[in-house]
Structure formats: structure tokens, C-alpha cells
Structure 1
Amino acid sequence: MLKGFKDFLMRGNVIDLAVAVVVGAAFTAVVTAFTEAFLKPLIQLVSGGGELAGSFQVNGVTFDWASFVNAVITFVITAAVVYFLVVLPLKTIQERRQRGEESGPSESDEVVLLTEIRDLLREGRESEAAGRHAAGGAPE
């Protein structure tokens, strides 16, 4: 049971995913700190400044709309950076590979060998079926 778990963890894509999550969380923390330190005060100044700037009260309950706007801005900045630094470059590489301008990752020796075996088996079946058809034999 532990060996299977170890094998799962040692796969390259699991490690890459873990690194991506950690870096993403750290980046989100940086963007959040930026929006809290700079953008939220600007939102409060634009809304009139003072003690209740960026919020309003109804029956003693405070609605902090500046925090909501701040969270939306944080999301948009984070999404834009992920799109322009991760999604767009990977999409461009994928399109280049489809057009044949850039080679993809090289296949391992095992994959190449298995592909050759598959192709040979397929050719053998096709030639066997063609031989039976030419001899007038009934299909099995």
C-alpha cells in the first residue's frame, strides 16, 4: 500500500502540480497584499475617505463593498497573469507543434518499441485477411 502511494507521489506530474499550487498560492498572496495595500485605500479615497469610506451601514450592520471590489480586482489580476504567463504560451507551443514548426516531447524507447510491435501486428492481420480473401476462403 505504501509502495503504491510512493509511486504515485514520485510521478513527475504530481510533483509539478504540487509546485504549481505552492507557487500559485504565493503569487495570490502577493497580489492580495498589493490590492490591500494600494488599491483598497484608493477605492476608499474615491468613495469619499473618512472612517466609513468604502462601506455603508444599515441598522448597525456594516457592508464593506471596498473589500468586495478589492477581491474582484485581485481575481482579475491573478487570472490575467495565469493566462498570459501560462495558458497563452502553452497554447502557442501546442499550435506550433500541430503545424509541425516545433517538435514535441520525444517518446521513450518503450513507447517506440510498443508502437512498432502494434504496427507489425496490424500489418500481419491485414495481410492474413487479404490472403484468405484472395484464396476465396470464408472469413472465420
Structure 2
Amino acid sequence: MSMMKEFKDFAMRGNVVDLAVGVVIGAAFGAIVTSLVGDVVMPVIGMATSGVDFSKSALVLQEASADGKTPAVLLSYGKFLQTMINFVIVAFVIFLVVKAMNSVKKKEAAAPAATPAQEVLLAEIRDLLKKK
């Protein structure tokens, strides 16, 4: 089997295509969550903490040199905090989506399938024959 044929077989499997779609949707969803946290959640948290902008919060470990050749060394805990909030929101939304999907699956499994019209008709004929 040639390498190109093996690659084509691998790439055209349903799981690989599903994974690719999931990655693309996940990247788009990540951008939405980043905007939600950066533009909606963090300003509210900053307002609640007297106007502190967490994304720019940092601890200066070493000042920049006077000549400007050496930049300051910062411990940017604000960016880390924002990333953690992103993660919590993404994890919570994924939890809600999985929970909703599981409840839909349970409802589908619990609902009995409707009896086909042909079987209903046959049952009526059987009942009529029993009466005679």
C-alpha cells in the first residue's frame, strides 16, 4: 500500500473529519469566550474592585534600564487570572452542553417507539378473529 493511499484512508475517516470540525469550532468558541471574559466579565470585576484592570496587573521583578535597552521583568498575574477565568467559563459551558445532550438522549431512550400502523391493523384483525 502506498504512503499516499494510507494517508488518504487515514484523512478520510469519519473520526478525523469530526475532530477537525471540533478543533475549528473550538477555536472559534475560544475567541468568543476570550471576548466575553475580557470585554464583559473582567471590567465588572475591575469595577467591583475599585477600577483595577486585572489584565494589566503585574508585579515588577526588575525595573527597565534607564537607557531603555533592557525591558522591565514583570510577573503578569493579571493575564494569568484572566486566562483562569476563561478556562472556568469554557469548562462550565461545556458542562452545560454535555448535560443538555445527556438529558436529550435520556428523553429519546425513555420515549417508546410508536407502533407501526401495519402492526396496529394486524392486532385489530387478530382481536376480531378471537371474538369469532
**Length-normalised TM-score, structure 2:** 0.57
- Whether contact under 8 Å (2:58, 2:78) holds in the other structure is no
**Distance change (3 Å), C-alpha of 1:82 and 1:71:** same
Q: Which sections of structure 1, spanning at least 5 residues, go unmatched?
A: 104-140
* Residues 15-61 of structure 1: per-residue CA shift (max 9 Å, x gap): 111101110110011110121112222333333326xx432544545
Instruction: Give the 3 Å change call, closer, same or farther, for CA 92–48 of structure 1 in structure 2.
Output: closer
Counterpart for residue 46 of structure 2: 44
Structure 2 gap segments, 5+ residues each: 64-72, 113-132
Other-structure match for 1:82: 94
What amino acid is the match of 1:88? K
In the alignment, which of 23, 26, 37 is matched to residue 24 of structure 1? 26
Output the TM-score relative to the length of structure 1: 0.54
Which protein has greater RCO, CA pairs closer than 8 Å, 6+ apart?
2
How far the C-alpha of 1:89 sits from its partner, in A, is: 4.3
Task: Say what the alpha-carbon RMSD is for the aligned residues.
Answer: 2.8
Give the 3 Å change call, closer, same or farther, for CA 67–3 of structure 1 in structure 2.
Answer: same
Decide whether the 8 Å contact of 1:39 with 1:70 is kept in 2.
no
CA separation in 2, counterparts of 1:7 and 1:56?
50
C-alpha spacing 1:12/1:37, structure 2 compared with 1 (3 Å): same
> Against the structure 1 CA distance between its residues 79 and 91, is the aligned structure 2 distance closer, same or farther, given a 3 Å change threshold?
same
Which stretch has the larger CA shift, 29-38 or 60-69?
60-69
* Structure 1 pair 63–40 and aligned structure 2 pair: CA distance change class (3 A): farther
> Counterparts of 1:14 and 1:96 in 2: how far apart (Å)?
29
Identity fraction in percent: 39
In structure 2, what is the equivalent of residue 7 of structure 1?
A: 9
- Aligned partners of 1:6, 1:102: CA distance in 2, in Å? 41
How far residue 71 of structure 1 moved from its aligned partner, in angstroms, is 1.3
Paired residue total: 98
Counterpart CA distance in 1 for 2:19 and 2:95 is 17
